[in-house]
Amino acid sequence: AGRSEYGASFYPVLLNDLIPYIDANFRTKTDRENRAMAGLSWGGHQTFDVVLQNLDKFAWMGTFSGAIFGLDVKTAYDGVFANADEFNKKIHYLYMNWGTDDFVNSQSIVDNLRQMGIKVDSSVSQGTGHEFLTWRRGLHEFIPHIFKK
């Protein structure tokens, strides 16, 4: 299956088992407007995969040093970014962060998304690499923006 499918078996478990279990056993708001997903490193890649293929289930997303390589924003995920107005209505907040010394650098993705009219917020953690300090700083920036319209 190759690296692009690495962890793909997690997606149906998350969508068909974990989310319904949480909604059945905890006091949650179950609509997409009240569901976010974020991930660090490969979890950032998985966040893109899951959210962008399930816009009926999520309205907020973030990646922290997200392992998102070679993304052609014009065609990725069945062209989900092609209609910026529609995308921006569905995803209320898209955030990406990475460190100055990180081997993951999402600046070109952020730039390409912005050129297409996609609203994306980003930050670069100064003096950090692919590490928890980068991700903690990113989480600190991300959290205040979710579940607010």
| DSSP letters spanning 7-46 | TTTHHHHIIIIIHHHHHHHS----SGGG-EEEEETHHHHH
Q: Does residue 41 register a pLDDT over 90?
A: yes
Q: How far is CA 26 from the centre of its chain?
A: 24
Listed in sequence order, the residues at least 6 apart from 115 whose beta carbon sits closer than 8 Å to its beta carbon are none
- CATH number assigned to the domain comprising residue 70: 3.40.50.1820
Terminal-residue alpha carbon distance, the chain = 39
> What's the mean per-residue pLDDT of the chain?
93
- pLDDT band of 149, cuts 50, 70, 90: confident
Distance of CA 7 to the CA centre of its chain: 16
Q: How many domains does the chain have?
A: 1
Q: Does the pLDDT at position 83 exceed 60?
A: yes
pLDDT score recorded for residue 1 = 44
Give a yes or no: residue 4 inside a domain.
no
Structural domain for 39, as ranges? 32-145
The bridge status of strand 121-125 relative to strand 60-64 is unpaired
Task: Answer yes or no: is 89 within a domain.
Answer: yes
3-state class (DSSP) for residue 83:
coil
For residue 71, the model assigns a pLDDT of: 84
Distance CA 131, CA 133 (A): 6
- Any domain includes 94: yes
Q: Is residue 18 part of a domain?
A: no
* Sole residue written with tokens 């529609």: 86
Q: What is the pLDDT confidence band of residue 80, given thresholds at 50, 70 and 90?
A: very high
Per-residue pLDDT, 10: 87
Provide the token pair at 70. 């070679």
Residue 93 belongs to a domain:
yes
